[in-house]
Amino acid sequence: MTGHAAFGRRATFAIEVGGPPAYVVEAGATEATSVREVDVWADGRRLTCHDNAAYVPTLVPQLRSAADLVRQRAVPACPFPGRSPAEVFDCLSANDTGFAQRFWLLRHWDEILDNVETYAWLGDQLVITGRIRQPAQPDVFVAPVDPAEFVATLDEAVALLAG
């Protein structure tokens, strides 16, 4: 597939899948490749602004795992109730004890999100917070998304990528 497919809503959370990246096409591959352009959006921001070339055999299991965690409600609740999501992000970002790793729902999505520091927790909404490191954006984004919508977005992207 060389077309474009979009799942979810950019304003909250979305995944957009394109064809092979330009460097793969230039090398002669146009259809059968394990590398695809995958863009991730949260809070109206493109998180994959530094690198959107995803290795599909690695990314698909990571997407499935994140969907399963949310589906099973196995994502931890907000670790600092009463604080704003941006304050919670700052507290988790400053924590060097390993506690913050419990909130790394998106952290290991292939290499496409290695430029973003993210944390997520689950209550009535799945709250995804983060900061884009490259290119540097100092403000924290906050993307509350309905858990069922998040899972559906991931399931649809997986169906396309794995198909």
Boundaries of every domain in the chain: 5-162
- Helix, strand, coil in percent for the chain, rounding step 5: 30, 25, 40
pLDDT of 10-19, one tens digit each? 999 999 999 8
pLDDT higher than 60, residue 122: yes
Task: Quote the pTM value.
Answer: 0.91
Nearby residues of 67 by Cβ (< 8 Å), 6 or more positions away: 150, 151, 154, 155, 158
Please report the pLDDT score of residue 110 as a whole number: 76
Mean pLDDT value of segment 118-127: 97
Where does the pLDDT of residue 30 fall: very low under 50, low under 70, confident under 90, or very high at 90 and above? low
DSSP 44-84: TEETTSS--EEEHHHHHHHHHHHHHHHHTT-SPPPSSTTS-
Write down the mean pLDDT value for the chain: 91
Query: Rounded to an integer, what distance in angstroms lies between the CA atom of residue 128 and that of residue 6?
Result: 19
pLDDT higher than 50, residue 137: yes
Mean pLDDT value of segment 61-76: 97
Of residues 122, 113, 26, the one with CA closest to residue 68: 122
pLDDT of 41-64, one tens digit each? 999 999 998 889 999 999 999 999
